Structure 1
């Protein structure tokens, strides 16, 4: 027999009304209690009654967009693309902010399980197995942006191409000592986009006869100061790098700050490449890998609406092109 709300309440050790509140207004439930209820629902593979889901969804025309908006300026451009795609469609957009793209969404707890959304866009956030199963079980149509996972449509970029472009530019400039700076992820084995920037960067350098030592690959919290401190540590090595590829433009700006504090000439003594080509890159004159931020949001929204309206029934996987933008670093 299918699990009921009574079963979930018993398993979680709470009242039925608390389970109902967790399903409909999760933000009003204490985090520890919410996690216990969601764990019980997952263990029991609980699905709200189909008729209740239909009533909640009927005529809503509401799409949720989940991303680390306040931590990464580039997501505002992606959201602009989403809004542009939906402007003529009369869809309401509900924004869910997350702290970091390096962390998983442990429960998607900010989204009601009764599916008061018609669809969901998840941008650059890795989804744990339990949350993925829950989304599929609830039949909440979801499109992933910059993240790929079986069972979901996705819009991605070719990260491996980004790694190759960065390495090739450094090689053309005559560098022989390299480093890579990335945001520390608390989620192992997360898959972003197509391929790995680091793997392609390292392989391209190796093909040219240059190693990328493990001590030259540094993971830091997402922030300018953390990137600056990590760069100082790299430059203190006995054989310091002269070329640093950063996972995004914000980390690259931390590298530039460290170079300035040391009085190093950029790019003569230290070359730097970022990723994204947001506003900060142009302001700093940063050489970077441009990804189509606004276009990616627009295509993700179009893909989601096509699935919701039945115009596209099969899963779609779109890979967008990236471009090397040479500036002053």
Structure 2
């Protein structure tokens, strides 16, 4: 008698759970506790179970889906990345399926289950950090993947050199003659995903040390929720003052607070940001430009290229950074 393909009932029995739980793992993995989810995933892989493979194939026939795993997708920098991705996928008649990430647990649940669900032709992972086991799962299930802001030698990736960006911003302020240069990072430390702030701070510190400068501890604020409190700490050390804000949103928040305090920009306080989001031009913000839209377009184009020719070599691309000089510094 021929061997029958494993069923969802076999998976449930192997994992010691109900078939409803198996279904939740496959369709809503973030709603299942990690221990149970892992047991179900192991059972699926041990048995070689493919979830409704034939019906899924029929349902997907003639459709093309690319998944985008992305955090903070309403923030300007991530909106611009999505805009770049969409501009390519739309022209190529691919459907873009967004998987928003709001926690490390949700990111892991998607990364564990998306490959085995076989609902996607490809996946773009934006600003997510993962362990080697996830890399192996993506490879085992042959889900073509491109990474933005994270390096994995197994996949095509696009990154920037955040430390060099920090150096670039700090050198610019020094070359403009500023001798007091403070650093302000993000508004809060992220609980998951890629955190570029520490690398941008490292670039700032490197240039300051090379220049033989020494600043009070109050000048370095890796995370700062209140621009008002930071300004009140550093202004007593003297004006004029310059600030390297590690994100444009933080730079704009400091511009607003400085003006509330009656300070002139850039005469009293010069400010440089990082990202060059769309609104930076509106505010006249001098900033470090990173290719946000371009990174999305390049990632989508490279993924489609790999879907056409999976045997091509992975590419690891470092995108360029440059200063955009406007009115604030």
User: Per the shorter chain, which TM-score range?
Assistant: 0.7 to 0.9
1:288 aligns with 2:292: no
Q: TM-score normalised to the size of structure 1?
A: 0.80
Larger helix share, 1 or 2? 2
Deviation at 1:11, TM superposition (A): 8.0
1:216 aligns with 2:219: yes
| 8 Å CA contact 2:11, 2:44 repeated in 1 | no
Deviation at 1:278, TM superposition (A): 1.5
C-alpha separation between the residues in 2 aligned to 1:19 and 1:240?
A: 63
* Deviates further, 209-218 or 84-93: 209-218
Deviation at 1:120, TM superposition (A): 0.8
State the partner residue of 2:304: 305
Aligned CA distance change for structure 1 residues 162 and 48 (closer, same or farther; 3 Å): farther
State the partner residue of 1:140: 143
Q: Secondary structure at the match of 1:154?
A: strand
State the partner residue of 1:260: 259
| 8 Å CA contact 1:104, 1:127 repeated in 2 | no
**Which of 138, 152, 155 is matched with 1:152 structurally?**
155
State the partner residue of 1:231: 230
State the partner residue of 2:189: 185
Deviation at 1:264, TM superposition (A): 1.7
Aligned CA distance change for structure 1 residues 63 and 74 (closer, same or farther; 3 Å): same
**Which of 112, 116, 121 is matched with 2:119 structurally?**
116
State the partner residue of 1:326: 325
1:244-286 CA-partner distances (Å, limit 9, x unpaired) = 2122111111111221222222112211111111122111111
Deviation at 1:181, TM superposition (A): 2.0
**Which of 106, 109, 122 is matched with 1:107 structurally?**
109
Aligned CA distance change for structure 1 residues 84 and 215 (closer, same or farther; 3 Å): same
| 8 Å CA contact 2:158, 2:317 repeated in 1 | yes
C-alpha separation between the residues in 2 aligned to 1:176 and 1:53?
A: 65
Aligned CA distance change for structure 1 residues 238 and 14 (closer, same or farther; 3 Å): farther
State the partner residue of 2:3: none
**1:26-41 → structure 2 map (5 Å cutoff):** 26=28, 31=31, 33-41=32-40
Aligned residues: 317
Aligned CA distance change for structure 1 residues 230 and 295 (closer, same or farther; 3 Å): farther
Deviation at 1:220, TM superposition (A): 3.3
Aligned CA distance change for structure 1 residues 130 and 40 (closer, same or farther; 3 Å): farther
Flag structure 2 segments of 5+ consecutive residues without an equivalent: 1-5
Deviation at 1:136, TM superposition (A): 3.6
Aligned CA distance change for structure 1 residues 165 and 294 (closer, same or farther; 3 Å): same
Flag structure 1 segments of 5+ consecutive residues without an equivalent: none
Deviation at 1:77, TM superposition (A): 2.1
State the partner residue of 1:269: 268
Deviation at 1:289, TM superposition (A): 1.0
Deviation at 1:108, TM superposition (A): 2.2
Deviation at 1:41, TM superposition (A): 4.6
Calculate the aligned-residue CA RMSD, in Å: 3.6
State the partner residue of 1:248: 247
C-alpha separation between the residues in 2 aligned to 1:213 and 1:151?
A: 44
C-alpha separation between the residues in 2 aligned to 1:114 and 1:196?
A: 36
Deviation at 1:154, TM superposition (A): 0.7
1:66-102 CA-partner distances (Å, limit 9, x unpaired) = 22354411222222221222233221111222348x9
